[in-house]
Amino acid sequence: MTEAITADRLTIRFGSFTAVNDVSFAVRKGEIFGFLGPNGSGKTTIIKALCGLLKPSSGGGTILGMDVVKDAPEIKRRVGYMSQKFGLYEDLTVGENIAFYAGVYGISGTAAEQRKKEVLDLTGIEKYLDRRAGQLSGGWKQRLALACAIIHSPEVVFLDEPTAGIDPVARRALWDLLFRLSGEGVTFFVTTHYMDEAERCGRVGYIYLSKLVALGTVHELQKLPEANPDGTTRVQIATDNASALLGRLRQMRGVREATIFGQFIHALVEVDKLEELRGRLTEAQIEPIVPSLEDVFVTLTYKIQETSQ
Ligand SMILES: Nc1ncnc2c1ncn2[C@@H]1O[C@H](COP(=O)(O)OP(=O)(O)OP(=O)(O)O)[C@@H](O)[C@H]1O
């Protein structure tokens, strides 16, 4: 069995509201799978169902071959889950938090000491061992939360927006850690709103309005026909003042989307209007580009909104 996580037509309803609608996917062992989608699209609810914390209304899933409903108690023991709220005890020290989670997973004595040392080494948090969790910075709290989530050496780890609100250096440190663990065979399911993080993942799923609307490698998603509508081309526009040009550009015929990326504008333009655009923007350099992941998701979202109107 090479699949660590599967969802099979997973559907979760809260009363008459469908939070997760017929979602299917599979994550291979050792993969880092990125999961994206707007707020409220159903990401956390899927994680909870896969961790055995929430019973699906229909459909189901597996973790390491175990059924998420029938084997929920075993799954809870075997997976690591770092929720958005981290689940740390702010009044306890770093060492006490780790010891507490070791106890929760039934690890004691020399095994607990050994494992504690390993996660301290791995996360580099040993220097704060005696500091209360509540007094750590966001980046260190997040590393402590990860240490607690993996204290029982889980083969599958769910991380729900693990890097929200932390600085780029701390984010990179966390990703280095994930790559290291994935190299050792640990499977990660990571939700994020950061496109650069999604691009680090082996494969990415995009959920919108409770449905999985795209799934694949970044390269595959960039080539999706839905993200590259017939008769359009994606261009990068270099100009001295991108902000000033953006408003004008959005009014021009044949420009379907335009947004600023650093010093450039990315635009989705109708092919037969491209020459006209070049003629009107003589001061700008216009070059064809492949869509960024953000371009892909924005275009997909617009398309779904259009077709559901
Ligand atoms: N226990 C619950 N009862 C009722 N509705 C719920 C419950 N849990 C979640 N929801 C709703 O289900 C939807 C999906 O929520 P979920 O937390 O899974 O979204 P998300 O994609 O993780 O969002 P975010 O990016 O903001 O974390 C939301 O509309 C939420 O309000």
Is 309's pLDDT higher than 70? Answer: no
How far apart (Å, rounded) are the C-alpha atoms in residues 65 and 61?
9
- Ligand 1: centre distance to CA 18 (Å): 10
- Residue type at position 4: A
Output the CA–CA distances (angstroms, integers) from residue 211 to 18, 59, 97, 218, in the order listed: 10, 14, 37, 19
pLDDT band at 262 (very low <50, low <70, confident <90, very high): confident
**pLDDT given at position 263:** 85
Does ipTM surpass 0.90 in this model? Answer: yes
- Ligand 1: centre distance to CA 190 (Å): 16
pLDDT digits (tens, 9 = 90+) for 28-62: 999 999 999 999 999 999 999 999 999 999 999 99
145 contacts 85 by C-beta, under 8 angstroms: no
| Cα torsion through 256, 262, 263, 268, rounded to 10 | -10
The stretch 68-80 carries a mean pLDDT of 94
CB of 292 within 6 A of ligand 1: the answer is: no
**pLDDT given at position 87:** 83
**pLDDT given at position 1:** 63
The stretch 216-238 carries a mean pLDDT of 92
Residue 40: both structure tokens together: 């409220």
pLDDT band at 17 (very low <50, low <70, confident <90, very high): very high
Provide, rounded to the nearest whole percent, the portion of the chain with pLDDT above 90: 75
Is 191's pLDDT higher than 70? Answer: yes
CB of 39 within 6 A of ligand 1: the answer is: yes
**pLDDT given at position 160:** 93
**pLDDT given at position 169:** 85
Q: At what angle do helices 168-183 and 109-123 cross, to 10 degrees?
A: 130
CB of 48 within 6 A of ligand 1: the answer is: no
- Ligand 1: centre distance to CA 28 (Å): 26
